[in-house]
Structure 1
Amino acid sequence: MRYHVSIIILGILSLICIWSCESQPKDTKKSAKINGVSLVASRDAIDSSHITPITNVNANYASVMPFGFIRSLESAEVLYNTDRQWRGERVDGVTETIKHLHNANIKVMLKPQIWISRGEFTGDMMMASEEHWTTLENSYEGFILLYAQLAQDTNAEWFCIGTELYNFVNARPKFWSQLIKKIKTIYSGNLTYAENWDKVDKVTFWNEMDAIGADAYFPISEDKTPTIKASRQSWQPWKTTLKNLSDTYNRPILFTEYGYRSIDYSGNRPWESQREDGKINHEAQLNLTNALFKEFWNEPWFAGGFIWKWFHNHSEVGGMQNNRFTPQNKPVEKLIKEHYQQYSN
């Protein structure tokens, strides 16, 4: 009798074990994401030693950002690839940078951008006449198609067709439609456009892109040092907006830029970039970044993002006395390294 009871008990335990094992997820590895850094253009040539710190934080992508310049909000001409620019802002420096990144198995988003003198916001750019619009369109097209060809020639995995240009995009839809068509005849990789957080849901050509690009400076907290829990809660309405946008266009959301300064109240107006003395707050930067990671990186409709911003001369930038955006040599750098490792290829 005891023998039969033992057999029955062993059988029940075996069934429990089988059920338990089958109920556990068979693959606990997290889905790979774009774990990127926004690599600031260098004045001088770079080499492989400048790429090593990027690999050390487990980044698998970097955005490379050549610049075109406009003299004022009313000026119509984009100046680009000139001898007066830093090496990293020109074709030769961009080509060199992409080569070193690819040699380190880091993929690339080529992201040409506009800088207006005195730091005026590009989204406010509006031409006063049809003549000025035509001049802007012709020079911007030359700028973008030059780098679309470079993206193709260097096998860049992504190409960003513009950054925070809402007035231009909204006022001149025919121009942007034909520009996208021209880009696609040159470049065969993935396309996105980087719109500012407050206009990303108003862009109408997302169906022509492979991802919806958002520069993710959404206001999250008015607290001096936001907590992770409160920051995650504050993300919910913005997250719903982004999820609905992804569903509408059947495209993933890509944070073409994201990040926070290591300064008091950095979640209140995260887009602000003016220099301020003191007010250093690494905990605020750490908590806000952690909350963003926890809210988005597990979502299937989210592609990943590029932290703003990363300098090539790692040992000379950032640090505990720096209250700017860069995560380099700050507590948040360790968080990024650990987080990116979980979502690597």
Structure 2
Amino acid sequence: MTWGWTGIRGTWDTDSARESMRLMVETTAVNWVTIAYAAEQEHAYSTAISFREAPTVTDDEIRGAIREAKALGLRVCLKPVVNVADGTWRAHIGFFDWDVPGEPTWGEWFESYTEFIVHAATIAAEEGCELFCVGCEMVRADAQADRWRALIARVREIYAGLVTYNCDKYQEDHITWWDAVDVIGSSGYYPLGSWDAQLERIRPVVEKFDRPFLFMESGCPSRSDSPSLPNDWSLPGHPDGDAQLRWYDDAFAAIRARPWVRGVMLWDWPARLYPASDAATNDDYCPYGKPAQEFLREQYSAWRAS
């Protein structure tokens, strides 16, 4: 399960955040957690990432969340992510393919991004995280293969654990540098009824690069229309826990039939958890108190037993 997004300063080092993580483990039987947080750049063509300032969580909050997760018996993936302050999706961060004097460049952006990621990798190394994610859904940046390889090499200088990258949905077969990471990661927000076809599209990528594969993100809001487009958190519809459950049933049936899918990091579980009494009217991704909760507990328990 992914916990804590987006990592707003002041929300992680609280009793309610610790209780949220405890309930996540107790009610879903997860054995891994992705601790995910965001730093911001001003707009899609900015080259400076402000990871030391609010609203990003502090280093102490990150370390505290990792330690809390480990105290609960979880293995931890640390996932620092860049967001755009004006709301533009990070997939659209991009620059000219060639450098032009006076214009922002990929080189300048990767210099700032590398500082951000290496700083996070240092925390991951010092706190004993088992997995580290170097990026998330950076679709326009994905083509910068040499720069990703250089970044990953820098991470490996200080972090000895497993390294992954979280590509966006439908992008698994467009990444040319999967050999640079230890684990292929993807965002699995595929529509109801399409899972078998999408997994068969992904299979040759896994075979070609001979790497373990997992869904670094996957989930569906508990909203009536969401199974048809589970990555769209703004899709119209009314709260519907049964719709979320149908999507999970479809996704997990396809995944469980393919042992080469090594896991699923579900999206997501907030640091500020809503009361269980509000579950029926909550239409977000978190399964707490919804029909999908017990289903996931059963699935994860069976997966661990096998």
Q: Distance in 1 between matches of 2:250 and 2:256?
A: 10
Q: Distance in 2 between matches of 1:38 and 1:242?
A: 26
Q: Distance in 2 between matches of 1:203 and 1:38?
A: 26
Question: Which residue of structure 2 aligns with residue 139 of structure 1?
Answer: 112
Question: Which residue of structure 2 aligns with residue 10 of structure 1?
Answer: none
Question: Which residue of structure 1 aligns with residue 245 of structure 2?
Answer: 286
Could you list the runs of 4 or more consecutive aligned residues of structure 1 that deviate by over 4 angstroms after TM superposition?
none
Using the size of structure 1 for normalisation, the TM-score is: 0.80
Whichever residue aligns with residue 206 of structure 1, its letter is: W
Instruction: Give the number of aligned pairs.
Output: 293
Deviations 1:97-116 (A, max 9, x none): 00000011111100001111
Question: Which residue of structure 1 aligns with residue 19 of structure 2?
Answer: 49
Rg (Cα) greater in structure? 1
* Cα distance change of structure 1 residues 100 and 112 upon mapping to structure 2, 3 Å threshold: same
Whichever residue aligns with residue 303 of structure 2, its letter is: Y
Question: Which residue of structure 2 aligns with residue 224 of structure 1?
Answer: none
Q: Distance in 1 between matches of 2:217 and 2:198?
A: 16
Whichever residue aligns with residue 95 of structure 1, its letter is: R
How far 1:259 moved relative to its partner?
Answer: 0.4
Using the size of structure 2 for normalisation, the TM-score is: 0.90
Q: Which moved more, 1:146-155 or 1:124-133?
A: 124-133
8 Å CA contact 1:159, 1:189 repeated in 2: yes
Q: Match for 2:296 among 315, 331, 336? A: 336
Whichever residue aligns with residue 151 of structure 1, its letter is: A
Q: Distance in 1 between matches of 2:164 and 2:128?
A: 16
How far 1:37 moved relative to its partner?
Answer: 3.5
Q: Say yes or no: does 1:201 pair with 2:173.
A: yes
Over aligned residue pairs, what C-alpha RMSD do you find? 1.9
Q: Distance in 1 between matches of 2:281 and 2:185?
A: 32
Q: Distance in 1 between matches of 2:32 and 2:223?
A: 26
Deviations 1:5-34 (A, max 9, x none): xxxxxxxxxxxxxxxxxxxxxxxxxxxxxx
- Aligned residue runs from structure 1 range 290-301, under 5 A: 290-301=249-260
Q: Say yes or no: does 1:308 pair with 2:267.
A: yes
Q: Match for 1:158 among 107, 131, 149? A: 131
* Structure 1 segments unaligned to the other structure (5+ residues): 1-35, 221-230
Q: Say yes or no: does 1:71 pair with 2:31.
A: no
Question: Which residue of structure 1 aligns with residue 223 of structure 2?
Answer: 263
How far 1:174 moved relative to its partner?
Answer: 1.9
Q: Distance in 1 between matches of 2:21 and 2:240?
A: 27
Q: Distance in 2 between matches of 1:331 and 1:59?
A: 16
How far 1:179 moved relative to its partner?
Answer: 0.8
Q: Say yes or no: does 1:181 pair with 2:153.
A: yes
Deviations 1:270-326 (A, max 9, x none): 2112275x5222211101111111111342211101111101333537610011111
8 Å CA contact 1:59, 1:340 repeated in 2: yes
* Structure 2 segments unaligned to the other structure (5+ residues): none
Whichever residue aligns with residue 148 of structure 2, its letter is: W
Deviations 1:35-57 (A, max 9, x none): x3443335331354332212211
Whichever residue aligns with residue 286 of structure 2, its letter is: T
Q: Name the % identity.
A: 22
8 Å CA contact 2:240, 2:280 repeated in 1: no
Q: Say yes or no: does 1:104 pair with 2:72.
A: yes
Q: Distance in 2 between matches of 1:38 and 1:198?
A: 24
8 Å CA contact 2:133, 2:165 repeated in 1: yes
Q: Distance in 2 between matches of 1:138 and 1:73?
A: 16
8 Å CA contact 2:3, 2:271 repeated in 1: no
Q: Distance in 2 between matches of 1:219 and 1:118?
A: 28
Question: Which residue of structure 2 aligns with residue 319 of structure 1?
Answer: 279
Deviations 1:78-102 (A, max 9, x none): 11021x225xx23111100000000
